[in-house]
Amino acid sequence: MLEKGWNPKLPIDTLKKDLVDIHPTASSFKLLLDKVRHHANQSMNDAFEYAKQKWDKSHKTPEFKVGDLILVSTLNFNNIKGPKKLKDSFAGPFIIKALHGTNAVQVELSGELEKKHPTFPVSLVKHYTSSDKELFPLRNETPLEVPPLDQSQDKKVLKVLKERRLRWKMIENT
């Protein structure tokens, strides 16, 4: 019944319960099916409860507030330059601007990440803890900022080329 997806119509279901002349085999079969159905439901409820307890024991919902400093995972970032092997696994710290329920946070991005969408799921975010200067006196924390472009120098065109290479062929500019 449970694995087939349908319930068979049994003779005891259609007959009234106050009738005395029900065949004993049909009534015992009905009792057997009721016991099996009750046992299957009880086993499924126990399995659901066990899985819920295991999940709740090992997972905590992170507590974020507006204004907290967080680090954002760079797992899905394709615009960070350099080899993937040497990339930092988290970027930041960033300030939380808004909360979208308990599952997403909106942050104020800066630097080369400004063009990214500012909303991230909680699974890709973790709290930022600054290093302790007493425990790690030699550690230098440098903020991750893109240096501004130096626009004070005027760039001059040195030479205009009359030809260019395109797939190993010389093409003259017209």
pLDDT digits (tens), the chain, 174 positions:
666 677 777 776 666 555 566 677 888 898 999 999 999 999 999 999 999 999 989 887 778 898 888 999 988 887 677 777 888 888 878 889 999 988 899 998 887 788 888 999 998 999 988 777 788 788 777 664 544 545 555 666 667 666 665 555 555 555
pLDDT on residue 149? 47
- Rounded Cα gap, residues 103 and 55, in angstroms: 17
What residues are paired with 107 via a beta bridge? 96
pLDDT on residue 132? 78
pLDDT tens, residue by residue, 64-80: 898 888 999 988 887 67
CATH number for the region 61-147 comes to 2.30.30
pLDDT on residue 146? 43
Q: How far is CA 35 from CA 29, 30, 31, 38, 170, in A?
A: 10, 9, 6, 5, 87
pLDDT on residue 142? 64
The percent of residues in the chain predicted with pLDDT above 90, rounded, is: 24
Exposure string (b/e) for 74-106, b if CB count within 10 Å is 16 or more? Answer: beeeeeeeeeeeeeeebbbbbebeeeeeeebbe
